[in-house]
Amino acid sequence: MDSERRPVRVLIVDDDQLVRMALRLVVGGEPDLTVVAEAADGNAAITAVDQQRPDVVLMDVRMPGRDGLSATREILTRPSPPRVLMLTTFDSDDLVLGALHAGALGFVLKDTPPARIADAVRTVAAGNPVLSPTATARVIAAATGPHSAEARRSTREAARRRLSTLTERELHTARGIADGLGNAEIAERLHISIATVKAHTGNLFTKLALENRVQIALLIRDAEE
């Protein structure tokens, strides 16, 4: 990050005081990151977002009272909302999946090494997704597992209808995003310029009424499951 830019402002949300303390030490110890507030539940998180205007919210998924998923959905309706990075354990895949659909940019496990948590905050602050490969596999399994065949069919058909509005190049770009490729890698795959990839990606956001690349990837997976 450019040293002349102000530090990324971070809100930490977790019902466990020791977890909040540890995260404050991790995030606050970085010269380009600063913790502007803490919250112990979803309602307090929403209030803190309105008061402090953070750039990134580190949001716990499971909390007493208002959980992180509900809070995330409301926070992301705000004008110019912060980026949301979910904190999770393996037993909360269903909630994480819902948060990603709602617009959260990704998630990290609570036992992630401190340096990687700090890097994840920077990545999300820049508008890029953070998806742990291991946890991503579990989230995808949760999305395709316990619901009925009829529910999966309905989800698939709805996703395909949305994707039918895309041009062939836009659809190929969307599939590249779903495969986890960056702009340069998509450009190489499709033999087009990076500027063209960015243009296609902008069209995807507009046509599909989505906010970020994670949501595009989830829509592609819904259509192809």
% of the chain surpassing 70 pLDDT: 85
179 shares a domain with 125: no
d(CA 155, CA 52): 37
Indicate the average pLDDT of the chain: 85
How do residues 125-157 score in pLDDT, each as one tens digit? 988 888 765 555 555 555 555 555 666 778 888
Report the pLDDT value the prediction gives residue 163, as an integer from 0 to 100.
94
Listed in sequence order, the residues at least 6 apart from 204 whose beta carbon sits closer than 8 Å to its beta carbon are: 166, 170, 173, 174, 177, 210, 216
88 shares a domain with 24: yes
d(CA 21, CA 95): 24
Task: Give the 3-state secondary structure of residue 171.
Answer: helix
Q: Identify the DSSP state of 87.
A: E
Domain count, the chain: 2
Tell me the residue range of the domain where 184 lies. Answer: 147-224
How do residues 62-92 score in pLDDT, each as one tens digit? 888 888 888 998 998 888 899 999 887 755 5
174 CB-side CA count, 13 A:
30
pTM of the predicted protein model? 0.68
Compare 203 and 211 and report the one with higher pLDDT.
203
Confidence class for position 1, pLDDT limits 50, 70, 90: very low
Read off the CATH number of the domain in which 93 is found: 3.40.50.2300
Read off the CATH number of the domain in which 205 is found: 1.10.10.10
84 shares a domain with 116: yes
Q: What is the mean pLDDT of residues 6-30?
A: 93
Compare 170 and 211 and report the one with higher pLDDT.
170
Confidence class for position 204, pLDDT limits 50, 70, 90: very high
Report the pLDDT value the prediction gives residue 94, as an integer from 0 to 100.
63
186 shares a domain with 111: no
Domain annotation covers residue 2: no
Contact 166, 205 (CB under 8 A): no
